[in-house]
Amino acid sequence: MKQSNSTNPDEQAEMTFWEHLDELRGTLWRILIAVIVTSIVAFAFKDVLFDDIILAPKSKNFITYQVFCKLGEWLSLPSICIDPSQFQLININLAGQFTSHMNISLVAGLILAIPYVLWELWRFIKPGLNETEIRNSRGAVTVISFLFLLGVLFSYFIVAPLMINFLGGYAVSESVSNQIALTSYVSSITLMTLLMGLLFELPVLVLFLTKIGIITPKSLRKYRKHTMIGILIIAGLITPSPDVFSQMVVAVPLYALFELSLAISSKIYRKKQELAG
């Protein structure tokens, strides 16, 4: 990897191992500071963070429930109208509310800082790329950030409400009532949100694996049916409900993500074939 203070590429000098290490350390420090700053901002706005965001999916006025109820009326499917009013949260640990506040603030800070984190990582690896690689990677930070945030929004507005509705209202017996611990609720929401954010990076992962020759469009098409079954299983686990509509709401976007990845892989593979022949 090369680093230069000059605008002339011919004057760039090879960096030593310790210079690389020092550059990496600086990058990691800037990333850490950015996440800490955004986490502090999130921590300061406790009412917005919890009442308007984290706890919103347990209210029947949440926008997802309103949309589902309107769809239920239009499709004559009243079963898809969700009312999470039976959902109750309690705190059973002395420091439970404070630790939940801290954990949510850190996750929110990480999500808010993602574009800057990716930009810093791009700045670190860019000097080691040639002009063609830099040109082909233009816009990568924007695309990766967009896909991650899209996954986060999908989880928050679709997956989390469906999960809360089913699991929060599920009972093995009428004699057992659900009183969900705040820490359990927070950890479930944050874990699902981060997982969905990462899952939506699938097109980027497929693009990279296609470029280095690990996968091809043919291999993706070969396992298309398997992928469809896997997505249905994942949707069933995320929304373990007998309501097929809820499962399709999750499964269709995930399958669309797979088809987008296949289209990207096909385009990259064709370009490689053209260059090779």
Please check whether residues 57 and 82 belong to one and the same domain.
yes
Number of CB atoms found within 10 A of residue 217's CB = 19
Q: Could you give the residue ranges of the DSSP H alpha helices within the chain?
A: 17-44, 46-47, 63-75, 96-125, 131-136, 140-154, 160-169, 182-199, 202-211, 217-222, 224-238, 244-276
Please check whether residues 263 and 156 belong to one and the same domain.
no
Please check whether residues 129 and 178 belong to one and the same domain.
yes
Does the residue 1 lie in any domain? no
pLDDT digits (tens, 9 = 90+) for 207-265: 888 888 888 888 889 888 888 898 888 887 776 666 677 778 888 888 999 999 999 98
Please check whether residues 128 and 23 belong to one and the same domain.
yes
Q: How many CA atoms lie within 13 A of 244 on its CB side?
A: 1
Decide which of 169, 200, 231 is a domain's last residue. Answer: 200
Rounded distance between C-alpha atoms, residue 137 and residue 144, angstroms: 11
Q: Identify the domain containing residue 224 by its residue range.
A: 201-277
Number of structural domains (the chain) is 2
pLDDT digits (tens, 9 = 90+) for 51-84: 999 988 888 888 988 888 888 888 777 777 777 7
Does the residue 116 lie in any domain? yes
Please check whether residues 255 and 173 belong to one and the same domain.
no
Does the residue 3 lie in any domain? no
Residue type, 166: F
Number of CB atoms found within 10 A of residue 138's CB = 9
pLDDT given for residue 29 in this prediction? 95
Does the residue 238 lie in any domain? yes
Decide which of 152, 174, 200 is a domain's last residue. Answer: 200
